[in-house]
Structure 1
Amino acid sequence: MILSPQAADLRARWIGASSLETTPGTILSPKDALAGLEPGAAVFVTALRDANPAETIAASVHLARRGFVPVPHLAARGLRDAAQLRDLCRALVSEAGVSHVLLVAGGLPHPAGDFADTHDVLRTEILSETGIRHVFVAGHPEGHPEAPAGPPHASLLHKQAVARAQGLTMEIVTQFAFEAAPIIAWERSLRAAGVHLPVRVGLHGLVSPRILVRYGLVCGIGPSLRFMQAQKRRLHRWFLPSDPAILIDPLAAHAAADPSTLLSGLHFFPFGAVARTLVWRRAEGARTHDAEGARTGDHQETSGSSQRAS
């Protein structure tokens, strides 16, 4: 896809400032899957079903010491009560300097304690009281099997209002998808409903279509999943890493053409391929930088020729 200069510039900035997520085990591993990631990058710390809060704290401390921005997941249904939430937030803030968290309901079918969803956590005001300043919340461009009934985007509108009342900044991180069109349509519907939160688009890492379909089935992704399943016919590519640029380019083109867009960045779900995804990320950044340099050089040469001709 050929991008306009504005879209290409936006694409470069998005890739350069993109965040990613991985498990505490990967973060704390001596193999150092994050080697080469630039200081200041945001790294989300996943909270698995059987996660120990101590691991989340340790991983966040490790990230902070290396100059990254730790963004631990807080899974509402996995928390016992307000006291545990308060202790966890205090520890994250005091020990790791955490100011950003991702608030999710969590993968448990039933709450382990007092919190049924993210609204219950936000209502306690514990996040703002303990020093959390920025909250990421989940967005689902293709819907979610457990989405509450009611008007479209009512949940996000409520979270937006609560965040404003508590002095929190808030941002949406979307579930990953395989096609750009559903994301663009969903983003437009957010604005129409009155949601004004920036949207960081979730992307798969450099993993094969076969693995992506497996995760898509778990996450309940609809139209995009059917698109990926159709790629089985291209068996020569079924086991090769899928290129995230297929999504990034049309999203950048859309955002560059619409100044009112909420799309503001990218977030990678590496699905275990952290190092490979980071290599791709660096290579794409360098490729985009070289392309921009070539365009600038062409422009300067053309300008010089025009001046000489005059």
Structure 2
Amino acid sequence: MGYEVMPFKGTRENVLRHVPRTVPLTVTASPQKGLSATVKLAAELAGAGYRVAPHLSARLTRDKAELQDFLGILSAAGISSLFVVGGDGDDCGAYKTAHELLVDIHESGFVFGDIGIAGYPEGHPLIGEPDLTRALSDKAPLAHHITTQMCFDIKRIRSWAAALPERGVHLPVRIGIPGAVSRQKLMRIAGAIGLGDSARFLRKQQQLLWRFFLPGGYNPGKIVRSVAADIGRSPNIAGFHVFTFNDLGGTERWRQSLLRRAPATP
């Protein structure tokens, strides 16, 4: 189970305070913060002993020279994992798609042994299903695993993952779930990332926000308990990726509670 964090002021200290070094981390990217903030925080966390995968966004990468600079910094920091996305942003430089960025990463001369790409079990608000399927097939040979975007439909997760081999995609899948985050925390995050990013954030997280108003609210443990039995049995479901929204104290307390309640293995 890995945690996703956002490169805000104080994130490094928050991670050091709450997250054990055994928990893998990813660092997001956004148009407002830019990739430099992502790369800087990833290098700092790697220097503090964490296994870190920075997000590299195609639409936020200016050109091949900038990509080489970022890859050089990450490689020098001992980082061997990346998460490559198309990304947000109204303008883009040399890259429009994650596949284009993946090709240049593989031709860069730097070696990264664990490259993740995004999967969308419930679709994408701006991309049609045929295009999503085609893009995943194009990216899969250049990647090592898939991490899904947030999904709350257990049956949909299972059926989507089970259908991947039929499409020629044989990568392990990490299921993306929100951590133990409050509605108030989501609103504070939305207000902290700038107007344009906030609109994107709220659009992407509308399912999560809606679930806070259901009886009983949102409980990440329900998804974990439902899918956990598939890990090791399903040919491609490999674990969980937790969107923490930087609520690291609450998320780590929730994870520790899950571990305490987990049945002992013989």
Class of the TM-score when normalised by the shorter of the 2 chains: 0.7 to 0.9
**Larger C-alpha radius of gyration, 1 or 2?**
1
Counterpart of 1:181 in structure 2 is 155
Where does residue 193 of structure 2 map in the other structure?
Answer: none
1:85 correspondence with 2:29: no
Q: Is the 8 A contact 2:119 2:149 kept in 1?
A: yes
Query: Aligned residue for 1:266?
Result: 240
Do the aligned residues in 2 keep the contact of 1:142 with 1:182 (CA within 8 Å)? yes
Check conservation: 2:35, 2:60, Cα contact below 8 A.
no
Percent of aligned positions that are identical = 28
Listed as ranges, the gaps of 5+ residues in structure 2 are 191-199
The equivalent residue for 1:253 is 229
Give the secondary structure class of the aligned counterpart of 1:72.
strand
TM normalised by structure 2 equals 0.83
Q: CA deviation at 1:217?
A: 5.5
Aligned to 1:103: 84
1:79–1:182 distance in 2 versus 1, CA, 3 Å: same
Question: Is 2:123–2:129's contact at 8 Å kept on the other side of the alignment?
Answer: no
- Partner Cα separation in structure 2 for residue 22 and residue 196 of structure 1: 27
Among 33, 52, 75, the alignment partner of 2:57 is: 75
Q: What amino acid is the match of 2:80?
A: S
Matches within 5 A, 1:165-180: 170-180=144-154
CA change 1:211–1:27 in 2 (3 A) is closer
**Alignment partner for residue 130 of structure 2, among 150, 159, 163?**
150
Q: Which structure carries more helix by proportion?
A: 1
Deviations 1:58-81 (A, max 9, x none): 312221122111110101001110
Alignment of 1:27-38 (within 5 A): 28-30=11-13, 32-38=14-20
> Which residue of the partner structure matches residue 4 of structure 1?
none
Residues 1-310 of structure 1 mapped to structure 2, 5 A cutoff: 18-25=1-8, 28-30=11-13, 32-94=14-76, 96-111=77-92, 113-126=93-106, 129-147=109-127, 150=130, 153-161=133-141, 163=142, 170-208=144-182, 218-219=203-204, 225=207, 229=210, 232=213, 234=215, 237-238=216-217, 242-255=218-231, 259-288=233-262, 291-292=263-264
Q: Secondary structure at the match of 2:25?
A: strand
The Cα of 1:243 is off from its aligned counterpart by 2.0
* Residues 171 and 197 in structure 1, CA contact (< 8 A), matched pair in contact too: yes
Give the counterpart letter for 1:184 in structure 2: R
- For 1:230 and 1:22, the matched residues in 2 are separated by 22
Q: Which runs of 5+ in 1 are unaligned?
A: 1-17, 164-168, 297-310
- Residue 34 of structure 1 contacts residue 274 of structure 1 at CA under 8 Å; is this kept in 2? no
Normalising to structure 1: TM-score of the pair?
A: 0.73
Change over 3 Å in CA distance of 1:253–1:260 after alignment to 2: closer
C-alpha offsets along residues 162-209 of structure 1, whole Å, 9 cap, x if unaligned? x2xxxxx51101001222111111111212222111000001011246
Query: Quick one: structure 1 residues 110 and 54, their matched pair in 2 at CA, closer, same or farther if it must change by over 3 Å?
Result: closer
User: What is the CA–CA distance in structure 2 between the aligned matches of 1:152 and 1:86, rounded to whole Å?
Assistant: 27
Equivalent position SS for 1:60: helix
Call closer, same or farther: CA 1:216–1:140 in 2, change over 3 Å: farther
Q: Distance in 2 between matches of 1:250 and 1:186?
A: 15
| In structure 1, C-alpha distance between the alignment counterparts of 2:29 and 2:51, rounded to whole Å | 17
